[in-house]
Amino acid sequence: MVDQAGIHTKTFSSSSDERINALEQFGAGFESLPDRQQAFDDLLRLCSDNDETVREKAINVLEAVFPLVPDRKKSWDELAGLAKSVSVPETVRWEVINFLPSIFPYVTDMKQIWTDLVEITASEDSLVQEKAASYLETVFPELSEKEREEAWKDFMGLIGTENQATWEAVVLSLVSSFAHVPDKRKAWDELLWLTGKESTYAREQTMEALILLFPSMPDKTKVWGDFTALAGSKYENVREMTSDALILVYPYQEDREKVWDDLIRIARKGDNYVRGSAADILARIFHQQTDGEKVREDIKSLTGERCDYIVQRAMEVLGHDFPQLFEAEDPIKELYKLAAEKATYARWKASGTAEKGPGASSKIRKEEEAEK
């Protein structure tokens, strides 16, 4: 039988070699020990040993024997406590937080793991924060549906963290977890609400999350409506980030006439940045509109620089291949004429959907000739 009392005594020895020997004995014969919980407590204590080698050895043995510990809940609580503690050496916190995912499968209370990880993300140690945040995506799907609803609220609280690395880990976990959210529309709307927070940093983080999440939203029409509404935000950073996002969102919209009308509205009311982004998209989709007269009137209604920018943008896209645009009395009319005549190459260039690879240009030109 293993002499556990003798090993226990060695853990208090002033000799680091004897303490290391005790750890080796624990690792080799843990399953045969009469009191495994006491052995675990010895290991936990040695994780804070003054000798770095002893600490590292204790942590490695702890990870290996955790599945054999009788009271895993108690043992988990103590390990999570080490990761949260500011009184232990930082290397201990780092080692513990690194191996926590390997013992997730042996802890039955996933809600407790989630709660502890959220608390650890508030740690003063940025590395520990980041690691804990990155593990959230692993735990979230294992929660019950009701628990996931509550856990999403934790995400909303974490989104405002000011540590850049932690925030990135939070957002990546949030995006990965979104597929498992019971009510995606509600979760999306909660994120939208955060775009009105006073904190500039929180608004930018929320916008980043929305931009990453929108492809996972089932209702793309709602996404478009929400982003076009954000283009009118009172906050400049929200408007600018929304404007950049519109170019990513509009391809998902089937109703291009509505997209056109929304962009015309934005171009009339928005600031320079918003108008510029709207104009970029308008120049790409003008040829998809069925009412050419309306297109011309809409663009003409954008006075001054607004109209000039849209025409200029479209001519930059098409002008090299259709020099007559520069000679036309009414460039807008000429632009629409190109599309109305089914100039495949013009539509291809304007929409920015050029086929990649050698020979793409000649292929488009052949299609154009076939239509004439």
Domain boundary assignment for the chain? 1-108, 259-372
Q: DSSP label at 90?
A: H
The per-residue pLDDT for 353 is 41
CA distance 69 to 66: 5
- Compute the CA torsion angle 346, 347, 350, 356 (nearest 10 deg): -90
The two structure tokens encoding residue 270: 């928005």
Instruction: Give the pLDDT score at 110.
Output: 95
Q: Residue 59 has what pLDDT?
A: 92
pTM over 0.85: no
pLDDT 10s digit of each residue in the chain, 372 long? 678 899 999 999 999 999 999 999 999 999 999 999 999 999 999 998 999 999 999 999 999 999 999 999 999 999 999 998 888 888 899 999 999 999 999 999 999 999 999 999 988 888 999 999 999 999 999 999 999 999 999 998 888 777 888 888 888 899 999 999 989 999 999 999 989 888 888 888 889 899 999 999 999 999 999 999 999 999 999 999 999 899 899 999 999 899 999 998 888 887 878 888 888 888 788 778 888 788 777 777 765 544 556 666 655 655 555 566 666 676 666 665 655 554 444 444 444 443 333 344 344 334 444 444
Helical (H) or strand (E) element with 63: helix 52-65
Q: What is the pLDDT of residue 364?
A: 37
In contact, 136 and 170? CB cutoff 8 Å: yes
Distance of CA 171 to the CA centre of its chain: 4
CA distance 154 to 78: 23
Specify the amino acid at residue 285.
I
Helix (H) or strand (E) segment spanning residue 105: none
Please classify residue 210 by burial: count the beta carbons closer than 10 Å to its beta carbon, then call 0-12 exposed, 13-18 middle and 19+ buried: buried
Residue 130: exposed, middle, or buried by beta-carbon count in 10 A (0-12, 13-18, 19+)?
Answer: buried
Question: How far is it, in rounded angstroms, from Cα 241 to Cα 243?
Answer: 5
Asked if 48 contacts 92 with a C-beta cutoff of 8 angstroms, the reply is: yes
Q: Which two tokens stand for residue 1?
A: 């039988």
Q: Are 267 and 275 in contact (CB under 8 A)?
A: yes
Distance CA 248, CA 97 (A): 37
| pLDDT value of position 27 | 92
How far apart, in whole angstroms, are the C-alpha atoms of residue 82 and residue 99?
Answer: 12
* Alpha-carbon gap, residue 253 to 310, rounded angstroms: 21
Q: Running DSSP on this structure, what letter comes out for residue 71?
A: -
Name the CATH architecture for the domain at 1-108.
Alpha Horseshoe (1.25)
Q: Which residues contact 231 (CB under 8 A, 6 or more apart)?
A: 239, 242, 243, 246, 266, 270, 274, 278
* Distances 29 to 35, 42, 72, 153 between C-alpha atoms, Å: 12, 14, 19, 44
User: 361, 364, 324, 360: which is closest to 344 by C-alpha?
Assistant: 364
- DSSP letters for 164-175: HHHHHHHHHHHH
